[in-house]
Amino acid sequence: MNLTINGVETPIESGPLTSLLDVLREELGITSPKAGCEQGGCGACTVLVDGEPRRSCLTPAASVDGAAITTVEGLGTPENLSPVQQAFTHHYAAQCGFCTSGMMMASQAYIDGGGTDDREAIQHALGGHVCRCTGYVKIIDAVAAVVRGESFDPNVTAAGTAMTNLGGMA
């Protein structure tokens, strides 16, 4: 099997029924997709398969043979965050961070698909993603901001707190 992962064609040696999540995390060491519930209920493992958000834990590797996979590692770099990553940072849309990867990938697909800044539409698009910190408001704020084309100073959050004051978390 072969997958094109974040633009890089990659041979896959895992078995055909290995979940895409395990291929990414265990075989390839790509750890942004999280193993949350591993039964399709939480959305922490969502990646893009040929541009569509997909639960990697529910996806047998053989069913996506030859597909293009995008994970958070393919969005931006620490020095050059993607618009979604910038907005999540600026709006402080992550607390514990466990749901963040899946939230960002679903958000990216929503934005790529021409989604608007309508909050209900954003909620619908992220409806399969559970944030147990219940930080939904800021996540929706972040997605709406990207849709509106807002740009951010990555070192300053929406509340005005310099990220460097938070123990250098930026």
Partner 1 sequence: MASEVLMPSSPSEAVSLFGDGAATTVIGGGTVVMPEITYGRLAPDRVLLLTNAGLDTVAVDGDTITIGATTRVDALAELGIDGLTACAGNVADGEIRSQATVGGNLCVGQGHEAPRGDLQGALLALDATVRSTGSDGERTESLETFLPHRHARLVLEVNFTRPAASAFAALEYPHTHEYTVLAVSGTRTADGTIRLAATGVAGPGARLRSAESAASDPEAAGAAAVNDVTFADDSLASAWYREQTLPVLVRRVLAQLEEST
Q: Which residues bind partner 1 (CB under 8 A)?
A: 15-17, 19, 38-43, 46, 52-55, 57-60, 62-63, 106, 124-125, 127-128, 130
22 vs 89, which CB is nearer to partner 1?
A: 22
Q: 3-class DSSP state for residue 169? A: coil
Torsion of CA 79, 151, 120, 137, to 10 degrees: 70
DSSP one-letter string for 16-81: TTSBHHHIIIIIT---SS--SSSSSSS-TTEEEETTEEEEGGG-BGGGGTT-EEE-GGGT--SSS-
66 vs 97, which CB is nearer to partner 1?
A: 66
17 vs 166, which CB is nearer to partner 1?
A: 17
CB of 18 to partner 1, least distance (A): 8
13 vs 153, which CB is nearer to partner 1?
A: 13
CB of 28 to partner 1, least distance (A): 18
CB of 62 to partner 1, least distance (A): 6
Round to whole Å and give the CA distance between 43 and 28: 20
CB of 37 to partner 1, least distance (A): 8
